[in-house]
Amino acid sequence: MPRPYLPNLPGPCALAATVLAALLPLRGPATAAGTDITAACPGVDLHVAGASATEFELVCDGLRRAVGFFRRHAIPVEEAFRVRLTEGPMGAQGTHIGQYDTAADRIDLLTLARARELCAEQSPFRVPMDVALYTSFVAHEATHVVVERRGETGMVPLTQEYLAYVVQLATMDADLRQRILDDYPMPGFADTAEISWVYYGLDPAAFGVKSFRHFSALPDPAGFIADLLSGAVEPGGSWY
């Protein structure tokens, strides 16, 4: 049986962020951990800085999952991605696993080792940080890139978070996703008016689960994504 729902409030290990560089800059210098790698990543034009060979494969896997999701929903993705792995810290409190630096047009991610260390006490979605969860964060951040490049100017930032969590959960390993869904037994958002920053701030992981369940129940998910990107549909409007 799923355990009673308890909020997973942001703590030592925060969920991947929608970060505009001007709002939440890197706190202190980011130290590269590996080497620069430009290698074959099937279906994705990818350059990774500061990664080990293993980390490059994880980044490639996460990007391919995100790109594949959008292509399956009639959103072509052909451009290049730049990713930098660092020892951190990232975010205003130094607790983020990853962020999309809009000024540099680059995804910044903690190394796998640093992500495990940061999340040892409190992990996103209440599951231990491992390669499957780490890969899902790559897909989350890749979604911010895709949406930022395609969305209308002035797009509601909450749209990005909604889609980033949808893609993260939709593309993660099935057994990990089911474990998370079982542990967060709340229903999806009833409509777009329920999707709010307040709920996101109270529990980002629960926000992600409710977003995924809402999206999974849509009769025309591809059309809904198109409407979000065009600004025809905007989430928000309710306090919860």
The pLDDT assigned to 34 comes to: 57
> Does residue 19 fall inside a structural domain?
no
CATH of the domain at 181: 1.10.390.10
> Does residue 12 fall inside a structural domain?
no
The encoded tokens of residue 35 equal 């080497």
The pLDDT assigned to 28 comes to: 36
Please compute, for residue 175, the number of CA atoms within 13 A of its CA located in the half-sphere on the CB side.
Answer: 1
What are the backbone dihedrals phi and psi of residue 5, each rounded to the nearest 5 degrees, phi first? Answer: -70, 130
Cα separation of 72 and 56, whole Å?
A: 24
DSSP H or E run through 99: strand 98-101
> Does residue 9 fall inside a structural domain?
no
The pTM score is: 0.86
> Does residue 4 fall inside a structural domain?
no
The pLDDT assigned to 37 comes to: 64
> Does residue 165 fall inside a structural domain?
yes
Let me know: does 82 contact 105? Beta carbons within 8 Å: yes
The pLDDT assigned to 207 comes to: 97
pLDDT in tens, the chain (240 residues): 333 333 343 444 665 444 433 223 333 334 444 567 666 899 999 999 999 999 999 999 999 999 999 999 999 998 899 999 998 777 655 568 999 999 999 999 999 999 999 998 888 999 999 999 999 999 999 999 999 998 765 677 899 999 999 999 999 999 999 999 999 999 999 999 999 999 999 999 999 999 999 999 999 999 999 999 999 999 986 444
Please tell me the total count of domains within the chain: 1
Which structural domain range is residue 219 located in? 35-230
The encoded tokens of residue 36 equal 């620069």
> Does residue 18 fall inside a structural domain?
no
The pLDDT assigned to 91 comes to: 66
> Does residue 114 fall inside a structural domain?
yes
Cα separation of 220 and 216, whole Å?
A: 10
Closest CA to 2 of 236, 187, 211, 200: 187
The pLDDT assigned to 237 comes to: 64
The pLDDT assigned to 156 comes to: 77
Gap between the terminal Cα atoms of the chain: 26
> Does residue 152 fall inside a structural domain?
yes
